[in-house]
Amino acid sequence: MSQTSVDELIRDTLSSTRRHLATAQELSLARHALTDELSSLSAELVSSLNPEGRARPTLMEELESLHRSLKELESVRNYVLVIERVLRLR
């Protein structure tokens, strides 16, 4: 191999190494950003029933509460329909 070829190979290798280093740094920053976002999302999922948790209920707890309220309202509606039918039959 000639010295020119060796010098060119070294330049290409340095250039490639710099590109790979830049890519690795970008990926590291992206990983840290994703870790921060995951931590934030995990914190939002902590139950409000947990004494160490936040005061706001989670989305799942809100949905469960709304579902219970809906079931209660359906029961009241059915009761009112029964009373209405009894009154009509009298």
- Residue count of the chain, please give it: 90
Residue in the structure block whose two tokens are 């139950």: 47
Return the amino acid letter for 37. E
Which pLDDT does position 67 carry in this prediction?
95
Has residue 52 got a pLDDT over 90? no
Q: For residue range 6-48, list pLDDT tens digits in order.
A: 999 999 999 999 999 999 999 999 999 999 998 887 776 665 5
Confirm if 37 and 29 have CB atoms less than 8 A apart.
no
Listed in sequence order, the residues at least 6 apart from 7 whose beta carbon sits closer than 8 Å to its beta carbon are: none
Helix ranges restricted to H, 45-89: 59-89
CA distance 25 to 47: 36
